[in-house]
A and B are shown apart, each in its own frame.
Chain A
Amino acid sequence: MRTSFVWVANGMAGLVVAPAALANGWNMPVGVSDLSQEIHSLHMTIFWICVIIGVVVFGVMFYSLFKFRRSRGAKAANFHENTVVEVIWTAVPLLILIGMAVPATATLKKMYDASDAELDVMIIGQQWRWRYEYLGEEVAFNSSLSTPRAQVRGEEPRGEHYLLEVDNPLVLPINRKVRFLMTSDDVIHSWWVPDFAVKQDTIPGFVNENWVRINEPGIYRGQCAELCGMDHGFMPIVVHAMEEEEFDTWLAERREEAEQEAMGVDREWELEELMERGEGVYASICASCHQPEGQGSPPAFPALAGNQRLLDDADWHLDTVANGVPGTAMPAFRSTLNPVELAAVVTWTRNAWGNDTGDAVQPSAVVEKLAQ
């Protein structure tokens, strides 16, 4: 008896310690918002309810399998129905479930209340990256996976944040209610950051609303959570949550950058400048389909290196990048890339990999073409 008591006590201690030990990398994160913590509690509650029911039910089952073995001489009893028992084990689970439903309802109502937000961010899912636009701020940028493909192929050692790192993270202030307006430009994607317990499908042609109030500064990583085609596994989310003053400073800096970019449209750019800028844009936006060396993946993704039509027809080239090719996987980049980026990436493509046209496409020319 003493021995079994010790076993039970140890077991129970383990049960208490285990979840904490398991939390790191085995369990849902508690997260950094009030709601994520509520959700974590709901999760642990339903989990323990299931464990307890499982222990009882399997306990009776294994006891029966052991005690009533024919090889031990068990003789089968005769009973085969009992209405009272049926009523009890219908009613008791029902009551437990009603008990669960009450806190779940309360939490769900909070999740749906995106009112009175202090900052609105538009999140646009694209194949295969995210775009973030700070509403009312003229600050907008794309966020693409920055893990080198060489790491994916195993040619280089993998970094700590393999597949969970991007070139431009979403930057948010802590302690402010942030409202997300989410949509997609092509297929259904889903924006998910486990530490915020925010996940929402982004549906083309529709806008969904969600919100978060982050309590702790830090870097939080998530992934696209709805199959969206080839690179569904390669469009992560990184959020950099910072103190409010820091955020305000960051936002002001980005606003200025955007203004500079807008003004940069008017001046004349050198070929080297355009090439440098264009190389970066190509790597984060175009390379996943058209490949780093421009070789493409025909027929779905044409080669750009040595592409005769591209070399001969600069106008068509710019038009294709800006307006896409309907009916194919080539999207219209006019709403993803600004005129400087468009000019730079077209310049890069026209000169890289031996294409060598010597053309430098000016941002001002792009603006003219877009505005006609």
Chain B
Amino acid sequence: MAPKLPLHHPVQQSSTASDAGQASAHAAPPRGLMRWLLTTNHKEIGSLYLIFSLTMFFIGGIFALVVRAELFQPGLQLVNPEFFNQMTTMHGLIMVFAAVMPAFTGLANWMIPLQIGAPDMALPRLNNFSFWLLPVAFTLLLSTLLMPGGGPNFGWTFYAPLSTTYAPPSTTFFILSLHIAGISSILGAINIIATILNMRAPGMRMMDMPLFCWTWLITAFLLIAVMPVLAGVITMMLMDINFGTHFFNAAGGGDPVLFQHLFWFFGHPEVYIMILPAFGIVSAIIPTFARKRLFGYASMVYATAAIALLSFLVWAHHMFVVGLPLAAELFFMYTTMIIAVPTGVKVFNWITTLFRGSITFEPPMLFALAFVVLFTIGGFSGLMLAIAPADFQYHDTYFVVAHFHYVLVPGAVFAIMAGVYYWLPKWTGHYPNVKLAQWHFWLSVVGVNLTFFPMHFSGLAGMPRRIPDYALQFADFNLVSSLGAFLFGASQLLFVAVVILCVRGGEKAPARAWEGAEDLEWTVPSPAPLHTFETPPTFQRHEH
């Protein structure tokens, strides 16, 4: 990855380097820490995002293991309920905002300019700023665990009034850290939109772009639309807590349910923000290793856009038991069921790409295929949740926990890992170690299913969410889940090993590292030089 890049440092290429943000770098390039603090290069910033995300993935994972360790057996053995609530809350917040979203942003930074033939992102200095906001935001968030009263303990969904009137003193810092992270995402989204809309290689129309660029473009629009709403909600929370307003307080004429409407208006598009880039990655990998063009490209674009639009109309399916009026309940049931259609279309298109292809099973393909199967299972439990009358029995049980972990872990996270395995040769010039990657894959698949499949059953059998101790009939399911969680957690160390080894060495990869790979990034050398596409490439589109 990035540490290899000094060979191609700007000093040697100063005659062609023209980054807006690195004018002074060519005279005296910074070394060491300052290089990373000041870089405006999309590849270096991409690496920063990915390393940050991996670190936070482990921190969020450790919080999950604290939860699973306590839930290993009935009774309270390890932590008290107040701390348990902090662990579940921080696990959610870190995974959503500090692991998954930055990982996708890192992949976007690395690959979008390469895929559209641009020399860098549209706003390189803004890009640097967007990244460095994240360590600030999450150091602040993690530090709340050490503050008097402890850290946030009201779930990653922080419903009022538990998160306002009854919240620990650190809540104001929690709000500030979310504001900072939100600004980072928003600025990143602006950069991505500006890059994709304005800097494609000549001859590349929108409908010629790789699907990863399309899914990220649409994701970026979602971010711009809903992150400000989150900012609004947390500002209202801040005002209720500190300035005596009553947005969410019935005593003053406010309404706790208003909080939920506002939060989920952000929250539902947010979960699509966490999955659409994954769809893009899988749409790059499957055609490559099936050696066959993606089936139904146009359909895939429209389906993604449909999902994004519909995502604004489904939010209250998280609120089916709140006491919504019947008309609203029906409306949101119907829209939520409808959103299954474009999602299904995408799955069918991937499978049709495989059909009558010529398939090999390199590590990226293994993860992409597991994504298709396991994400679809998560989609099925989502469809079940959409049936509002039945949801009264599923809501706030482990059935929901099973659903969203299936779409996020063997969904989004597997897609991220697939993308990393896929593009590591481009970043480092080496193939990742296949044996280790296969071990990582199989242990992860077993681990993820052992952890989350039993949760369908414990949820159906009546186990609520967010409890530190449970009735005896749930014991066996929890035992298996906890074992699976530790297996899965440990297996991720293999991933770290593969990445580190790959950066340092391994079988050399050519420019076109994978035989069936088609997009523009495979026309530049492996590893990619620090500056690529200084002159825009000539883009040849597929003949129909």
Contact = CB atoms under 8 A, between A and B. Distances in A.
**A and B directly contacting (CB within 8 A):** yes
Interface of A: 25-29, 38-39, 42-43, 46-47, 50, 53-54, 57-58, 60-61, 64-65, 68-71, 74-82, 85-86, 89-90, 93-94, 97, 100-101, 104-105, 107-109, 111-112, 151-154, 158, 160-164, 186-188, 190, 192, 194, 197-201, 203-206, 208-209, 222-234, 300, 329
12 contacts: A28-B461, A39-B389, A39-B393, A47-B384, A68-B357, A76-B357, A77-B292, A86-B299, A108-B388, A161-B471, A194-B462, A233-B81
Contact of A57 (B162, B338, B351, B473): B351
Contact of A54 (B251, B323, B380): B380
Contact of B296 (A28, A68, A81, A97): A81
Nearest to A327: B165
Interface stretch (B69-77, B433-441, B486-494): B69-77
A227 B85 contact: yes
Given A108-B329, A111-B392, A152-B76, 18 more contacts: A28-B461, A39-B389, A58-B373, A64-B357, A65-B354, A68-B355, A76-B358, A81-B298, A100-B387, A101-B333, A163-B74, A203-B250, A203-B257, A205-B255, A225-B465, A229-B162, A232-B85, A300-B149
A199 B395 contact: yes
Given A64-B354, A188-B162, A108 B333 contact: yes
B5 interface: no
Contact of A158 (B255, B348, B472): B472
B225 to A, nearest CB: 25
B460 A26 contact: yes
A223 B462 CA distance: 8
Contact of B330 (A77, A78, A105, A153): A105
Contact of A70 (B81, B340, B360): B360
Contact of B466 (A46, A85, A153, A227): A227
A93 B329 contact: no
A97 B338 contact: yes
B467 A232 contact: yes
A287 B81 CA distance: 15
Q: Which 3 pairs between the two chains have the least Cβ-Cβ distance?
A: A205-B250, A233-B467, A208-B323
B434 to A, nearest CB: 15
B290 interface: yes
Given A97-B337, A154-B77, A227-B162, A89 B348 contact: yes
A219 B257 CA distance: 32
Nearest to A22: B457
Interface in B370-420: 372-373, 376-377, 380, 383-384, 387-390, 392-393, 395-397
B168 to A, nearest CB: 9
Contact of A80 (B81, B294, B342, B468): B294
Given A68-B355, A227-B162, A26 B457 contact: yes
Given A80-B294, A187-B162, A163 B392 contact: no
B514 interface: no
B297 interface: yes
Contacts of A223: 462, 464, 467
B33 interface: no
B15 to A, nearest CB: 42
B256 interface: yes
Given A61-B351, A65-B359, A111-B389, A158 B323 contact: no
Q: Could you say which of A50, A107, A109 has the most chain B C-beta atoms within 10 Å of its C-beta?
A: A50
Contacts of B251: 205
A97 B396 CA distance: 24
A197 B393 contact: yes
Contacts of A164: 471
B379 to A, nearest CB: 9
B396 A190 contact: yes
B292 A80 contact: yes
Contacts of A54: 376-377, 380
Given A50-B384, A108-B326, A226 B396 contact: yes
Contacts of B312: none
Contact of A228 (B162, B352, B359, B380): B162
B293 A80 contact: yes
Contact of A224 (B297, B460, B464, B472): B464
Most buried by B among A94, A104, A161, A194: A104
B461 A25 contact: yes
A153 B360 CA distance: 53
A61 B373 contact: yes
B390 A42 contact: yes
Nearest to A203: B256
B464 A192 contact: yes
Nearest to B150: A300
Contact of B462 (A89, A190, A222, A230): A222
Contacts of B356: 64, 68, 74, 76-77, 79
B389 A104 contact: yes
A26 B469 contact: no
Nearest to A62: B373
A57 B340 CA distance: 15
B132 interface: no
Interface in B339-374: 340-342, 344-345, 347-348, 351-360, 369, 372-373
Given A80-B292, A203-B323, A25 B473 contact: yes
A47 B377 CA distance: 11
B243 interface: no
A43 B387 contact: yes
Contact of A93 (B344, B369, B397): B344
Interface stretch (B19-27, B137-145, B153-161): B153-161
Nearest to B337: A97
A239 B77 CA distance: 30
Contacts of A100: 337, 387
Given A60-B351, A64-B356, A201 B467 contact: no
A350 to B, nearest CB: 28
Nearest to A224: B464
A80 B297 contact: yes
B221 interface: no
Contacts of A86: 296, 299, 345
